[in-house]
Amino acid sequence: MNLQRAVSLSRLLLILLCIAFVMVTAVYGFSIGNYTQRGVFEEGVIKLGLDLAGGSSLTYQAQTTDTGETLASGIASSIQVMRQRCDSYGLTEANVYSVGDDKITVEIPSVTNPEEAAKMLMATAKLTFKDKDGNIVLEGSDVASAKYSYGVVDETNIAQHFVTLDLNDEGAKKFQEATRKAAQNEDPIYIYMDDQLLSSPTVSSKYKDIGIEGGSAIITGNFTEESAKSLAGQINAGALRYTFINIDQRTIGATLGERSLQLAIQAGIITFILIIIYMIVIYRVPGVVAAVSLIGYLAIFFHCLVWFKVNLTLPGIAGMILSIGMCVDGNIVVFERIKDELRLGKGVKAAIISGHKRAIPAVVDSNLTQIIASLVLIWLGSGTILGFAYTLLIGSATAMFTVLLLSKWLLNLGFEIGLTQLWMYGGKKAENATTAAAENNGKKFNFHFIKNKKVSYSILVAIIILGIASFFIRSFVIDYDFSGGSELQVNLGTEVTDEICKKINGVIADSIGPEYVSSTLPSTADSNVVIIRTGTNPLTLDQQTTLKNALKEAFPNINYDHLQFNVISPIVGEDLKQAAILSVLVALGLMILYIWYRFKLASGISCVLCLLHDLFVMITFYSLLQIPVNITIIATLLTIIGYSVNATIIIFDRIRENEKLMGEGMSFPEVVNLSIHQTLTRNISTTIVVLITAVTVYIFGVDSIRNFALPLIVGVIAGLFSSVFLSGVLWVEGTKIFKTKSKDGKKVKAAKKAKAVKASK
């Protein structure tokens, strides 16, 4: 072994040790000085969404005409009050946050009785302070906070329990005037919660001149610690600025959440193993490099989950699994470029350097489009979709790093230690790129995509006719996410049959009314689970309790630990629908602008049409199979858009490169056809990788994830068709229509003109 090989081997081992170290510290944690990071899989390190941990989510809408800063202040105050209420009931893990301008969502892990949770949060009635004549002198909206305290507060020097009252600016003015009047005869100020008297502290005559000023006051009396804390809690609870109505309610049983997490982890492990096997079989030594790079990718990804405190949801795990496919896709692009360079007669070292350099624009462009989609979802999305967006964003950024740096180092070091004999992919050496292209185009490529465009158009027309027919005949199943309504998924403890479903419909009709009988069907993921939908009218808390009790009586073995109960008002459904449409349109628009900037007008329009085709196919699939259209369609649509754009960008990038390379030797349609064939292996390989991922997620997923994975499978296949059969054809057609040429095309035209002039002379 010579010195250079020994040095390279040492560097390779060092990189492998670094990858192992990063993975071990991600899994088991580490400590450096005063800084400690726990392992990603340790309990409590990654906050699990309710769909994985189990619990209840309740969304409330404020009933107010306030707008702007006044509304924002009122919502912020109400959020604080709701947090205090959760804390006072021991629900310290609850998450309270605003949604839009006038809504508040409260997520309570481990609480699977939403009726009690809702009563606890909204039991707060109107807080009022009244004078002796019953006039309201202060309201809950005037109170900033009330705190329990213990100490000496007057001249007796005797420590006692008391409540400190802090008011906002408006409340301070009202309180000063009210106490000045009450102090004239040492009258009390009565504190009421609705009609219940909480306390009646008197106002000392020493305040008869100016009242109690400063925006704070002390309530004393014969308090015990418990009674003083209770009064402070009741006052705080009564400080809600507005009346709120419950418009959205979701409940996941702990058992169902745990099972979903286990299945998602299984899907991830199987996906990882299958992808590694595929890469090694297809690419040999580079496939091993991809496997090591993928391990490095996961190590960095796990650290990012801890650092950024990502709230992990079931769609988030799906996004993480799909981002593995993106990382592999980047490696496939690099490997295919290296193969091309080897076919042109370059040595292995030169092919690695040149191939990697030529792959960079395509890798960056494709990942940036995914980042754009992720940022749009973070901006406009909500709920579990945010988990998908964050993991996709982290995955895209990490994939770029590992492909552009880590894989490059591993490829070079693999060559330097002598793994050259396994790199040769075959293929004739050629004198130059033009000759090689001509040979490939004439001998290897039997199908001409541009000349046979009628085949592509025929398939396209057939798809359009099928879709339109399905829209009119079968229409769509709009799920409760968008229409509003209630859905209950529960394990009955017995196999769900058609007779069972009919019996459940009878229970619904008898318990809460026949008008709530909508649809009852077995789960596709568990034969013991039934899905019950009760139309577009969301059930009230009392109706929910009545229905669950009736089901319990009819099915004694029912398992409420394996429960999912969602209640959504039409208000939320409309908001989600608007957010879905806006998210897709904004993401689509930004991607098209980016592609237009990178590849000119005709290619941008071509990409738009291809994306519309892919979305049309997927929506047609929703209609044909009557898959419920719900909130997951946002993630599905944007994932399809991202993958379709990636495949199209790979082709467009090769077209742009070949235009420069071929010069006047080939016409533009020939360049397009050659570019499609040169990238065909990459597009097929990437599609296979994504299908491995989507199929595995479908097999091991629960119903909600299956409804995400199944359309994704169809969308990815549609994206392969549009990228390969339509994108280049449409670019050629667009070039004719708009009479546009790229800068390189103008150079070619000028060269031809000069040659013609020279020949005439």
Which pLDDT band, with edges at 50, 70 and 90, does 234 fall under? low
Query: What pLDDT shows up at residue 721?
Result: 92
Phi-psi region of 104 (alpha: psi -120 to 50; beta: other; left: phi over 0): beta
The HSE-up count of residue 678 (CA atoms within 13 Å, CB side) is 33
Calculate what percentage of the chain has a pLDDT beyond 70. Answer: 84
- By CB neighbour count within 10 A (0-12 exposed, 13-18 middle, 19+ buried), where does 4 fall? exposed
Q: Do 59 and 576 form a contact (C-beta atoms < 8 A)? A: no
Query: What pLDDT shows up at residue 744?
Result: 46
What integer is the mean pLDDT of 271-284?
87
Cα distances (angstroms) measured from residue 14 to each of 80, 292, 300, 380: 51, 13, 17, 43
Q: How far apart are CA 669 and CA 659, in angstroms?
A: 10
Q: Do 642 and 373 form a contact (C-beta atoms < 8 A)? A: yes
Phi-psi region of 109 (alpha: psi -120 to 50; beta: other; left: phi over 0): beta
Residue whose tokens read 């085949």: 455
Selection from 341, 516, 362 nearest residue 433 by Cα: 341
Residue whose tokens read 């897709």: 584
Which pTM value belongs to this model? Answer: 0.69
pLDDT, tens digit (0-9, with 9 covering 90-100), for 286-295: 888 889 999 9
**pLDDT above 60 (res 239):** no
Worst-scoring range by mean pLDDT, 60-74, 164-178, 306-320, 386-400?
306-320
Q: How far apart are CA 578 and CA 569, in angstroms?
A: 15
The shares of helix, strand and coil residues in the chain, as percent rounded to the nearest 5, are: 65, 15, 20
Query: What pLDDT shows up at residue 24?
Result: 94
**pLDDT above 80 (res 273):** yes
Query: What pLDDT shows up at residue 750?
Result: 45
Phi-psi region of 475 (alpha: psi -120 to 50; beta: other; left: phi over 0): left
Phi-psi region of 741 (alpha: psi -120 to 50; beta: other; left: phi over 0): beta
3-state secondary structure of 143: strand
**pLDDT above 60 (res 757):** no
Query: What pLDDT shows up at residue 758?
Result: 45
Calculate what percentage of the chain has a pLDDT beyond 90. Answer: 9
Query: What pLDDT shows up at residue 743?
Result: 44
Q: How far apart are CA 314 and CA 385, in angstroms?
A: 9
Query: What pLDDT shows up at residue 432?
Result: 45
Query: What letter represents residue 721's amino acid?
Result: F
Q: How far apart are CA 369 and CA 389, in angstroms?
A: 13
Rg (CA), the chain: 33
Q: How far apart are CA 438 and CA 670, in angstroms?
A: 10
pLDDT, tens digit (0-9, with 9 covering 90-100), for 297-342: 999 999 998 888 887 777 777 677 767 777 888 888 888 888 888 8
pLDDT, tens digit (0-9, with 9 covering 90-100), for 106-137: 888 766 666 666 666 665 546 788 988 889 88
3-state secondary structure of 148: strand
**pLDDT above 60 (res 433):** no
What integer is the mean pLDDT of 622-641?
78
Q: How far is CA 420 from the centre of its chain?
A: 42
Which pLDDT band, with edges at 50, 70 and 90, does 435 fall under? very low
DSSP string covering 72-107: HHHHHHHHHHHHHHHHHTT-TT-EEEEETTTEEEEE
pLDDT, tens digit (0-9, with 9 covering 90-100), for 94-110: 788 887 788 888 888 76
pLDDT, tens digit (0-9, with 9 covering 90-100), for 663-690: 666 788 888 998 898 888 888 888 888 8
Q: How far apart are CA 761 and CA 758, in angstroms?
A: 5
The more confidently predicted of residues 740 and 375 is: 375
Mean pLDDT of the chain, nearest integer: 79
DSSP single-letter state for residue 648 = H
Which pLDDT band, with edges at 50, 70 and 90, does 428 fall under? very low
Which pLDDT band, with edges at 50, 70 and 90, does 458 fall under? very high
**pLDDT above 60 (res 611):** yes
**pLDDT above 80 (res 11):** yes
Other C-beta atoms lying within 10 Å of the C-beta of residue 378:
15
Which pLDDT band, with edges at 50, 70 and 90, does 196 fall under? low
Q: Do 678 and 662 form a contact (C-beta atoms < 8 A)? A: no
What integer is the mean pLDDT of 470-495?
82
3-state secondary structure of 40: coil
Query: What pLDDT shows up at residue 748?
Result: 44
Query: What pLDDT shows up at residue 266?
Result: 82
Which pLDDT band, with edges at 50, 70 and 90, does 436 fall under? very low
Query: What pLDDT shows up at residue 643?
Result: 76
Query: What pLDDT shows up at residue 237?
Result: 59
Query: What pLDDT shows up at residue 195?
Result: 67
Which pLDDT band, with edges at 50, 70 and 90, does 22 fall under? very high
Worst-scoring range by mean pLDDT, 50-59, 113-122, 542-551, 595-604?
113-122
Phi/psi for 295 (5° steps) reads -65, -45
The HSE-up count of residue 760 (CA atoms within 13 Å, CB side) is 6
Q: Do 596 and 604 form a contact (C-beta atoms < 8 A)? A: yes
3-state secondary structure of 240: coil
Q: Which helix (H) or strand (E) holds 443?
A: none
Query: What pLDDT shows up at residue 23?
Result: 93
What integer is the mean pLDDT of 478-506?
83
Q: How far is CA 119 from the centre of its chain?
A: 30
Helix axes 348-380 and 570-624, enclosed angle (nearest 10): 140
What integer is the mean pLDDT of 191-215?
81
- By CB neighbour count within 10 A (0-12 exposed, 13-18 middle, 19+ buried), where does 652 fall? buried
Q: How far apart are CA 419 and CA 417, in angstroms?
A: 6
Q: How far apart are CA 657 and CA 679, in angstroms?
A: 12
Q: Do 43 and 261 form a contact (C-beta atoms < 8 A)? A: no
3-state secondary structure of 191: strand
